[in-house]
Structure 1
């Protein structure tokens, strides 16, 4: 889907709207069912998919993008020739903190009645998006590690499920990297747990700094970290592991503490569950540990 389509400000061109509607009308019971389903959906991605599916039956809307929340949340199959209409989601902020928008791609001009339908449904959708964003914020608070600021094990498991679902729907793959700090026990035993906490927070900051926007780090527990990576093959995964290892080994603070890292990685396969993928990466991590630490192994 091409998101570079020029924006057409339809509000400035009344002749953009044909006189007759070409959309399909919902019966009262169908409309009531749709609204009920919409208002009972609090998962933002699921909400967008449900909303687009219904819009597509009513109006010549061939694409909907909620990229202000996640670049992957694009529904439908808009073409370059599609016209883009962006409408603000009132009192909702994007991930960058700016006013969030919903981006509608239409295949043909809207009639006046279709325009009114779109605005009414968008207003209803926007109110539910606000509830979904608040729901997401509360979930994130529950899945955030207080020490490092990274998502915790619960957040990791949720992200793994989402990544697997995305991979299965779109035929794409991803990678998991498991990271264990070498000699961390020595830090706790010789410098105290407060210094150990500083090491963990420092490693988290290095991971955030070295990873790309599409990658996500987690504190899995203790001195173990995980990363979900947008890597399609073993070569890309090895490069990502090398960058992380170089970043950690390049820290003068960690070198002073005697801390390095061992890494194990695995690429998602069609037959994988979240458990089998993790087990393969974790097994590779133990191979790295047994090989003398401060190294990377792939499953």
Structure 2
């Protein structure tokens, strides 16, 4: 291989890679099956799971982890008594340019042929990770709002469908909050669209600062924002809406321009669709808009 291998042997076994140890290399059919599995997905987390599943059947690999370039995903069971093999993923790097790595936890000695098999499979995996990472970054570009840096409408639709699928499988509730800026048209008409853009960026920064790590914010379009929140009760949703409204209303910049916000929210209900949950929150929002603005209402 053309890369450095780091081996951390917590078993203190100096003969962990005995050249004479038994072991066979992969057959053509096994290798073909492995490649077919890897090529079946370009979703990074799923790719890691498929890779570990195949590794576990072919080699004494009991645990495996990779960086997703923000955090780490771990598969299997990495015991203290196992040996950690650290292999760099060629062509896969974080947004800061740092080299990504794969970590293999081995439960028993590898023969020379098994070592070569591991290197070969790792190389194949690394190539597919590079493709998956490229796709992931392209998808991120397609689902990000270029002005605010929040998710865009396409990103929102992906996220709400993912949340609905999870809620339906696990019975876990979540909340949708729609935010519409009050008097935003006046800003555009009186001060120009560049000032309107500054307002949108300013509001997005407030949302980012107020929301928790498990919450997500999107610019749905124009001056309308959506938040998918880890709230299970109307009380939790009302608290989240209040935090957002207070943050926006306490902005001196927005106050000088006369900008406030109206909010409408709802909690997931069994058998909700993306359309039904959005429509409920939207109806709540426009009941606020039609009754004085700058308030919150739930449906």
Bin the TM-score by the shorter chain.
0.7 to 0.9
CA distance in 1, matches of 2:117, 2:170: 31
| Contact 1:61 1:105 (8 Å CA) reproduced | yes
CA distance in 1, matches of 2:269, 2:79: 33
**SS class of match (1:101):** strand
Aligned to 2:202: 202
**SS class of match (1:9):** strand
Q: From the CA coordinates, give the structure whose radius of gyration is larger.
A: 2
CA distance in 2, matches of 1:163, 1:90: 33
Aligned to 2:254: 254
- Offset, 1:117: 3.4
**TM-aligned CA distance change 1:271 to 1:124, over 3 Å:** same
| Contact 1:68 1:95 (8 Å CA) reproduced | no
Provide the TM-score with structure 1 as the length reference.
0.79
- Offset, 1:70: 5.7
| Contact 1:92 1:130 (8 Å CA) reproduced | yes
**TM-aligned CA distance change 1:232 to 1:137, over 3 Å:** same
Aligned to 1:3: none
Matched, 1:268 2:281: no
**TM-aligned CA distance change 1:147 to 1:16, over 3 Å:** same
CA distance in 2, matches of 1:165, 1:234: 21
Provide the TM-score with structure 2 as the length reference.
0.79
**TM-aligned CA distance change 1:105 to 1:156, over 3 Å:** farther
Aligned CA RMSD, in angstroms, stands at 3.4
**TM-aligned CA distance change 1:184 to 1:102, over 3 Å:** same
Query: For 1:271-298, what per-residue CA distance to the aligned partner results, in whole angstroms no more than 9, with x for missing partners?
Result: 2333333223323323333453222233
CA distance in 2, matches of 1:259, 1:153: 23
**SS class of match (2:212):** coil
- Offset, 1:173: 4.2
Higher alpha-carbon deviation: 178-187 or 79-88 = 79-88
- Offset, 1:80: 6.5
Query: For 1:98-138, what per-residue CA distance to the aligned partner results, in whole angstroms no more than 9, with x for missing partners?
Result: 332334456x3353355543333222111111111111222
Aligned to 1:44: 44
- Offset, 1:170: 5.5
CA distance in 2, matches of 1:274, 1:144: 20
Could you list the runs of 5+ residues in structure 2 that have no partner in the other structure? Answer: 1-5
